[in-house]
Amino acid sequence: MKFNERKDFLYDATVFRRSDVATALGIHKEMVSKHSPMPPPRFFEVDRSEGNFDPLWHMPVGQRTVFSRQIDMPALVTFQKPDWRLTMIGVVPQRRDNFWLDNTLLLEADYFPMRGDMVFYNGYRYIVINVVIEPNGYWHQTNVWLGLICECEIAIDGDARPVVNPAVRVPAEIKGVKVLPEA
């Protein structure tokens, strides 16, 4: 998703003219850039223009997930202790990690992460579960957020499809869309 398409995270552009806001954004950008791991995490933006959904499982019908672009973006990564579970395919790490992204770097890349986007870092494929702004991540009382957190989960091996966003209605729930008849 483009940076300016997410209306609930936008703020007044005149605030950028203030010197304290510009200084705070510059310091935060430098902190994230300097302390980001090398190579930086690679974010894969899922192409949401494909509208083919299975009416029963509400999953994309295509064989593979299509990515519109990939972006190497500096981020601060915080790990949680992995929980190793025995599943049908073997022992699988179940872990949720957080990627702290900078506001200015997101604006320069013209990218805003969304649920379902994927991240490749440290040999693992992650799926973005949630995108949130920390309550103390705002610059004083200006409503300018310095950075946001992508809460990610390790994708199941062999699963190349994004997590379904329950906030978006599937075609079967929209009036006027024809769905395959049940047998």
Q: What is the pLDDT of residues 93-115, one digit of tens each?
A: 777 889 999 888 888 888 888 88
Instruction: Classify residue 172: in a domain, yes or no.
Output: no
Whole-model pTM: value is 0.68
Instruction: Classify residue 65: in a domain, yes or no.
Output: no
Instruction: Classify residue 55: in a domain, yes or no.
Output: no
Instruction: Classify residue 15: in a domain, yes or no.
Output: yes
Instruction: Classify residue 58: in a domain, yes or no.
Output: no
Domain of residue 143 covers: 3-45+71-163
Instruction: Classify residue 56: in a domain, yes or no.
Output: no
Q: What is the pLDDT of residues 142-163, one digit of tens each?
A: 777 888 899 998 876 554 444 4
- Residue 168 CA to residue 98 CA, distance in Å, equals 24
Residues 6+ apart with CB under 8 A from 117: 43, 44, 45, 46, 127, 128, 162
- The total domain count for the chain is 1
Residues 6+ apart with CB under 8 A from 165: 114, 115, 116
User: What's at 88, amino acid-wise?
Assistant: M
Instruction: Classify residue 136: in a domain, yes or no.
Output: yes
Instruction: Classify residue 52: in a domain, yes or no.
Output: no
